[in-house]
Chains A and B, each alone.
Chain A
């Protein structure tokens, strides 16, 4: 069975601080895909990144970076120099087949000005 755990329910940081959102996944399949989505107060889920299980390279996109470690089944997301616009709920997700996405329960991030 597949499962995604986001143990951090809510996080608050002061603007310009760095923050890491944790994601731990469970699957017995060797081929899988991991995702991060951002849900701002408007509600729409915005796709941030997709990573397959054969690519453990970390990725950086501007202030965002992702650390994928198969040894610990983790796919953590770091925001550097956080801004108020980063305030949102962030979801980590896992899929094997593509049709069934397993979402974590989300981490609510509040960036305080």
Chain B
């Protein structure tokens, strides 16, 4: 069966510091991968998605970036965090080629920027 991991689970960072959140998927090959952000009390916002190694699509311009160095690894980064970057970050995967397939979510990372 497939499993998706995210770490860290929680993170408190000062404004201006760098960020690196990691997501890995087990039990599948060539997954589509997604990063979402959920602000407190609000819905989900798609940040990035990837259909393959090195292929990143950005949905919302901001000071975040994403990378996919390996088939089942997806990284969300920032060089300098802003207060507005606080939120709950969720990684998700879906089957490659299943463009309308279900997205399955990881446990999330709760980021607080102070």
Chain A residues close to B by CB (< 8 Å): 33, 35, 37, 42-47, 50, 52, 91, 95-101, 103-106
Contacts and interface: CB of A to CB of B under 8 A. Distances in A.
Contact of A91 (B34, B43, B59, B94): B43
Interface of B: 32, 34, 42-44, 46, 49, 51, 57, 59, 88, 90, 92, 94, 98-108, 110
26 contacts: A35-B102, A37-B105, A44-B90, A44-B105, A45-B44, A45-B90, A45-B92, A45-B105, A47-B103, A47-B104, A47-B105, A50-B102, A52-B100, A97-B100, A98-B32, A98-B94, A98-B98, A98-B100, A98-B101, A99-B34, A99-B49, A99-B57, A101-B44, A101-B103, A103-B43, A103-B44
A39 to B, nearest CB: 9
B99 A99 contact: yes
Nearest to B44: A103
B108 A95 contact: no
A103 B90 CA distance: 14
A105 B43 contact: yes
